[in-house]
Each structure stands twice: as C-alpha cells, then as structure tokens.
Amino acid sequence: MEKKLINESNKYLMSTYNRYPIVLRKGRGTRVWGADGKEYLDFIAGIAVNCLGHCHPRIVIAIQKQAQRLLHVSNLYHIEPQIELAKLLVENSFADRAFFCNSGAEAVEGAIKLARKYANDHAYHDKYEIITAYGSFHGRTMGALSATGQEKLQKGFEPLVPGFKHVPFNDIKALEGSITKNTCAVMLEPVQGEGGIRIPSPDYLKQVRELCDRNNILLILDEIQTGIGRTGKLFAYEHFDINPDIMTLAKGLGGGIAIGAILASESVAASFQPGTHASTFGGNPLACSAAITTIEILLEDGFHLANCEHLGKYFLQKLNKLQKEFPSIIVEARGVGLMIGLELTKTGGSIVEKSASRGMLINCTSGNVLRFTPPLIILEKEIDRLIDVLEDIFEREPH
C-alpha cells in the first residue's frame, strides 16, 4: 500500500518537495505511524507546528465542537472565536490589535504592507525599504521571498519585489550602516530557523530596537517558528527584554491547524483600515477554535513553557556530550528551548535518512544543521532514545 501511494504521489503532485519514502497515516502525542504500520518518534512536529503533539485530545474536541456549529463565514461579520483568540493574544503580548490569515507567508506579506502603509500614513512617502538578514527565511510568496536573505531560494523567480536590503545577522554595525532615509522597517527572526538555528548575542535585539527608535523606523519580528512556546516563552522576544512594533505568527499557533496572525501596537495597527487588507479564510471559526485551545493549554500554570525550557537544556546537554564524543563530525549544538540545531562538518541528509530508518524523524536545514523541533510534550526518555540512535549512527560514520 505504501509503495502504491508513493508512486501515485510522484505521478500526480508537483515536484516541489524532496519527500522521504514514508507515508504518515496516524499520529498521537510524540509518535506517528506510517501506512505500513511502522512507528516513529517525531522530532520535527510538522516543522514546529504540532507544538502540543499530534491530535492533542483537547484540540481535537475543540475542532469537533466548532465543526458542528460553524465552519466558515465571511469577515463581513464578527466571528466569536476570532474575537476570543485576538483577546487572548493581545492580553498575553505587547500588542493591541490582531489580524488573522492562513499561513506564515501571508502574515509576512501583511506585515510588509502594514509597515509601508504606516510610513505612508505618516507622510514619510519616500520610506519603503525593509532591511532583513542574510540567512533569514520569511516565506515563499513573492514579497516574503524577496525579504528572505537566501539567494538560492530566490534563483529563477526574478525580478524580485524591490525595496528589500539584506545585512549579516547579529551585526549591529552592518544594520546601522544600511539604514537610509528610505528605510521604513527592520524585519528579523529572533532566532533564525531555516538559516540553521542561529541565535543572536544577548544584546543584539535590544540594540536593534534602539536603532529603530532613533531612526523612526518599525521593528518587525518574524516569530512564525519561534513563537507559541517553542523557545520556552510564549514569544521569543520575551527573552530579549524588548517589544516589536509588528509580529508575525503561524506554525504552532493552531496546534496543527493552518492559521497565521499579525500582531501590532495600536498606533501601527491603525494604518490598516477597511479596504487596505483582507483574507477570505483568515480567522475562520475552525482555525481560531484550535488556536484558542492551544494557547490556553500553553498558559495553564506555565507548565508546558517551563517544561520546554527544562527539556531544551536537557536536550542540549546530551547533544554537547555527543559533540565531545564525535568532534570530527559535530561542530556544535545550539538552541533555545526546543528549537535546537546540531551543526555537522558534513551534509546531514544521510543522517536524517538513517535516523528515519531507525524510527526517528528529524530534519536538516542549511545543508549541514540537524534541526530538532519536537512537540513541547516530549519526554526525557524519548530524547534519550534519539541520542542513542544518533550515537550509533555517528559511530558508523567515517571520521
């Protein structure tokens, strides 16, 4: 059955993904099962999406109840779960207002529009440029792709959308030197995800905030991967003692259901008025109900956030021991919470494949960084199982 499905996938779907030869059929908690019945421990979690694991019972129940009431209505009307979700996010963040869409790329596109509209509204008509970082990833739509600081992803899609500059990540002097009278915003990931789990120095984002304030430009934080508890706090900006002007969310927000969001301060959000931005499916009742439940679970007694921070440290400790054992293969382990990377001296694709054959689903980004974004409910003993598998794989690798 699995082979038949893979053959049909290769026949009927566009070839936009290098898929592993696995068809996943069922998931519960930290585990998934293939069509052939094989069990896997999932250390990818849909690329940081299933933050509470697969099919969390409370999220499933919330979806079931909402599906019986109302699936979709237009934003021509007020939507009760959307209102409740907006209130929940605003009351637990820097923001005053929320806008809902369906994905991270959509959230980034909306943030770009909002920043430019704000500059225009305040008579800065020549302020349109947005500065982002090399190694960043902001999405695959044309605006988000143009903002992304990875030339390899942009190749073949030229001409890109104008008005974006890129500077080295974690280099405040380079950023300062790139600001001109045309700059309206700086957009950064607090921790670069697709860029290889790159963590800035402790004072970098605070310096960026001060630089933006001095130059009267907005700070946009792309928290699509870092947000919703992934780093041990509800939002990663909390680690750096700053507030952005605009923040984008998606991935973990719906606990497995597609939803994106733009959060902003009151003065900035005011630039979005009727007719300036919209989304047919954005903030639909089903997605918002899943997101409400996800946020409520994460906030209950702070358990999952504290657990994420503890397990992240435990995970890094184990990976650091591996690095000492295999210094010719492993450069370093780094991460915040359960957003962790293991940089190798070689490409990591074969390690991912070998791990999958041993029942462990991991990911490789930037060519040589193994990325781990497991559900926040992962257990120490499950981390130990992965470490044992990696240790055995590295022992068999040519040094």
- Catalogue the active-site residues: 137, 222, 251
Give the tokens for residue 124: 């800065």
Give the Å distances, CA to CA, from 183 to 4, 141, 158, 327: 53, 22, 22, 43
The C-alpha angle 251, 90, 164, rounded to 5 degrees, equals 55
**Separation of alpha carbons 236 and 191, rounded Å:** 8
Cβ contacts of 28 within 8 Å, gap of 6 or more: 53, 54, 55
328 class by beta-carbon count within 10 Å (0-12 exposed, 13-18 middle, 19+ buried): exposed
